[in-house]
Amino acid sequence: MDRLADGLNTVNRAVGRSVRWLALFMVLLQFLVVVLRYVYGFSSIALNESVLYMHATLFMLGAGYTLLVDEHVRVDIFQAKASDRGKAWIDTFGHAVLLIPSMLALLYWSWPSVRNAWAIYEGPLSVGGIPAVFLLKSLIPVFCVLLIIQSLACLLARLAALAGKARA
């Protein structure tokens, strides 16, 4: 199970290492937008939207990596005082009953919107914006798939830990 979990982890590790650079590009572009607007009096909706696109991409594609490195938001009402075995059970429940089913539901219910956006090559959010909302909407199923992959990897690791065969 550990080898399979490690293989699944590799997917989000690679994606995380790639999209982390968007944070730097996003900050630099936002700085450029501010300088252009307040120093030169130039404004561009496409430049503003590109910051939004980068932010969405960073968030949506980086979520699986965030789960991989255990830096996600956790409500640890129960987990804070639990033993290692108790934490493994809580995580197992969370992945199997909450995260994976919710990502499958989101994938199912968002797919028609994504499909329709691609069918018409849905255009910009604003006049003069980036004509690629269909790409932005495509992040939703990719987000779901990456989180499902990472959740399965975490679930396998927790099950192996509960079986006493691996790390938690």
Which residue, 157, 127, 139, 140, is CA-closest to 7? Answer: 157
Q: Are 156 and 4 in contact (CB under 8 A)?
A: yes
pLDDT digits (tens, 9 = 90+) for 133-165: 999 999 999 999 999 999 999 999 999 989 986
Q: Are 122 and 134 in contact (CB under 8 A)?
A: yes
Has residue 117 been placed in a domain? yes
Higher pLDDT residue, 48 or 72? 48
Has residue 116 been placed in a domain? yes
Has residue 168 been placed in a domain? no
- pLDDT at 137 (0 to 100): 97
For the cut 60, the answer to whether the pLDDT of residue 168 exceeds it is: no
Has residue 87 been placed in a domain? yes
pLDDT digits (tens, 9 = 90+) for 22-31: 999 999 999 9
For the cut 80, the answer to whether the pLDDT of residue 166 exceeds it is: no
Has residue 167 been placed in a domain? no
pLDDT band at 81 (very low <50, low <70, confident <90, very high): confident
The pTM of the full predicted model, rounded to 2 decimals, is 0.90
Overall number of domains in the chain:
1
Question: Per-residue b/e over 30-45, b at no fewer than 16 CB within 10 Å?
Answer: beebeeeeeeeeeeee
